[in-house]
Amino acid sequence: MTVEYIVNTLKVEVIAGKEGLSNEVSGGYTGDLLSFVMSHAKEKNIWLTIQGHINSVAVASLLGLSAIVLTEGVEADQEMLDKANEEGIPILKTLFNSFDFAVKLAQIEG
């Protein structure tokens, strides 16, 4: 499935990185400790987190993640948005917590 399919199905807000909406998603990862995410998330994962800063985009870029989902209504700082646009990494935003969003993500087919 693609990031765009997830956006359309789960009605999440795209706040940056629209160029990457066609990115393929092969799985997901939930975590907020950047070093742990770096050692456990896989390429083409969609990452659910509350880390709304530029370092999250660096991790996503390094790992080849498909998108970042900011959960619980967390706001992204401007540096994050600018870097995500530059890198073409979609930043999505939802009011759901990470667990609830992961459940919804697992229930859709693409």
pLDDT, averaged per 10 consecutive residues of the chain (110 residues), comes to: 98 98 98 97 98 98 99 98 99 98 89
Give the CATH number, domain containing residue 32. 3.40.1390.20
Pinpoint the alpha helices (H) of the chain.
3-10, 34-40, 54-63, 78-87, 98-107
Residues pairing with 68 in the sheet? 47, 91
- Nearest residue to 11 (alpha-carbon basis) of 106, 96, 109: 96
Domain span including residue 48? 3-107
| Spatial CA neighbour of 25 closest among 9, 13, 39 | 9
Per-residue model confidence (pLDDT) at position 110: 56
Q: How many domains does the chain have?
A: 1
Residue type (1 letter), 1: M
pTM of the model: 0.96
The answer to whether residues 7 and 24 touch, using CB atoms and an 8 Å cutoff, is no
